[in-house]
Structure 1
């Protein structure tokens, strides 16, 4: 089957679910990786791997959604619950900007105590005080919460954020876009349509966003295919996804920990990444998740279809809450990319190259 998949992938023909399922379950891993790399270079010929200088702070850990995979959130009134003021958040943006960041990925819990003005002020003041920083703020489920609290539609919230100066959205909160999986691990978030509708509305307004996947918990191969199909179909419709970013679930201190005893390892990750490069024929960039999978696996991912390293993540708290910590410097990123045989290049949030390194 690999020869038929190669012919399709290199000639602009779309893979079907049977082929996708085979890639995810039975296909020889090294051959799939080699094909994904071949397809990557057919679509992006330059032997350049991009990265972004960024930070990922959180403005609140207060959340009422009770996702079973999350170790970060605290319920309202919990002694460990916190919500930062606008100025405290902007101090974190200032710290990132001082280290050369061009992107700040800001996200938090679903906190019903925060008004719309909190969010729009964060965007507006980030734009005003730090014009070199892109406010890559608020996941789809956060925007849904803002809409519910402010009694606006999702589109109305997106319009306010656009007016404040926001142009991109992070793709977090997708988990696995399968009805069965989301009912099991995040029933209060709604089904796949909840995440998809926010990104559809955002893309129609001119926002760009990423698409993510968190696998390695209760999903089956067909659930992963549902996810990839949903991303591919929305990209056909609206064309706003810049990249696909998969990573493995970290069970520490979560409600799912008693059910998920072992984290999926590098082989599963590399298979997922390569399959995504082949299946998502309309998503331009595939990101190597060095942070969640480890730096050596990140380097290997560059030979399995990934063309982007991801970010510096000067601050990250969600994985940290699950006892998973990983750090990196710009110098280390460029060295690792070169060691893997590529030319490193710093990019913007939307993948324009700023400089080669």
Structure 2
């Protein structure tokens, strides 16, 4: 398969028909996954705190430290959430919070160790690049030291959150206090060097243009060439409701399903060194999430027992394991439950 250049993918994004993009992306997916298996994971998002100093313009979830509904979950609260997850056969927690201004490395070590010792069967997929970066700064440590210490306590892998668009032109508008594109890449590079696998994500549809999107894809494709440490790519659209960005720019609307499917297909065509691409049914709804399987996605992501961040911006789609299995079968593929490492645990 010949590698697609930036100019070629820009041309496809702008000029190819939706049908042509779908056919190309689906052909690539079939090459990578000829057995027609679509995977999913049973997990739970646990947001250990909603306190955050970063003030991203696109976020409706964050709270200041002194607001009435600001919280840090107790270990007992977290245990209760994990117990509920185990009851439905869950295998992973997606663990992240706001960037709390006062929590240092000791808190995170204690937290990860507590969960890992009490629930060794649960994979901790946690802490975005911005959290890792800030823990390092506030604890006077290097990023490598933070990662080593958290890995030693039981951290297994890192989600791609906080990437948004890896274009500093966009980041300066929507998240001026957040780490820049190079810093996001560096956290993931350091993690990969320590054999901590990660995922890559993209949130499109705020103030980004086609060139910004391609810049993002190039950055993660280059790092994947270098390290091979990304397990999957996940694309989702900006959810404008209740966000400061929408208040400042009332004209902003949620991206269309057409735009989502076009970009998903283009990501499958361009990211030739990523094996797995996930459908974002949480932001798109279950039917467009199902359509994504014909536009390059081979994974439906999580049954998402709990989701708070996107829901705060008005996207409240939900799907249980049985609904997910039915959706996959209905698309003509074979459903399989996987773990964090994309190893198949059970076929249906």
TM range (shorter): over 0.9
Residue 304 (structure 2) pairs with residue 313 (structure 1): yes
1:269-284 equivalences under 5 Å are: 269-284=260-275
Q: Report deviation, 1:285.
A: 0.3
1:151-300 equivalences under 5 Å are: 151-258=140-247, 259=249, 260-300=251-291
Partners in 2 of 1:52 and 1:19 — Cα distance?
A: 34
Q: Which shows bigger deviation, 212-221 or 87-96?
A: 87-96
Q: Report deviation, 1:104.
A: 0.5
Cα deviation code 1:277-315 (max 9, x no counterpart): 000000110001111111000111101111001111101
Instruction: Give 1:52's aligned residue.
Output: 41
Instruction: Give 2:337's aligned residue.
Output: 346
Residue 98 (structure 2) pairs with residue 109 (structure 1): yes
Q: Are the equivalent residues in 1 in contact too, given 2:109–2:150 (CA < 8 A)?
A: yes
Partners in 1 of 2:87 and 2:159 — Cα distance?
A: 22
Structure 2-normalised TM-score? Answer: 0.97
Instruction: Give 2:54's aligned residue.
Output: 65
Cα deviation code 1:28-49 (max 9, x no counterpart): 1111101100011112211100
Instruction: Give 1:302's aligned residue.
Output: 293
Give the gaps of 5 or more residues in structure 1. Answer: 1-11
Which one of the candidate residues 313, 332, 340 is aligned to 2:323?
A: 332
Instruction: Give 1:8's aligned residue.
Output: none
Q: Are the equivalent residues in 1 in contact too, given 2:42–2:89 (CA < 8 A)?
A: yes
Instruction: Give 2:81's aligned residue.
Output: 92
Q: Are the equivalent residues in 2 in contact too, given 1:158–1:202 (CA < 8 A)?
A: yes
Give the gaps of 5 or more residues in structure 2. Answer: none
Q: Are the equivalent residues in 1 in contact too, given 2:206–2:252 (CA < 8 A)?
A: no
The count of aligned residue pairs is: 346
Q: Report deviation, 1:54.
A: 0.6
Partners in 2 of 1:180 and 1:149 — Cα distance?
A: 26
1:70-81 equivalences under 5 Å are: 70-81=59-70
Partners in 2 of 1:16 and 1:356 — Cα distance?
A: 37
Instruction: Give 2:20's aligned residue.
Output: 31
Runs of 4+ that moved beyond 4 A: none
Partners in 2 of 1:305 and 1:62 — Cα distance?
A: 36
Partners in 1 of 2:124 and 2:156 — Cα distance?
A: 8
Partners in 2 of 1:234 and 1:219 — Cα distance?
A: 21
Instruction: Give 1:146's aligned residue.
Output: 135
Partners in 2 of 1:191 and 1:127 — Cα distance?
A: 31
Structure 1-normalised TM-score? Answer: 0.95
Q: Report deviation, 1:115.
A: 2.5
RMSD (Å) for aligned C-alpha atoms: 1.0
Instruction: Give 2:347's aligned residue.
Output: 356
Partners in 2 of 1:17 and 1:115 — Cα distance?
A: 40
Q: Which shows bigger deviation, 81-90 or 270-279?
A: 81-90
Q: Are the equivalent residues in 2 in contact too, given 1:183–1:190 (CA < 8 A)?
A: no
Partners in 2 of 1:23 and 1:168 — Cα distance?
A: 33
3-state SS of 1:30 partner: helix
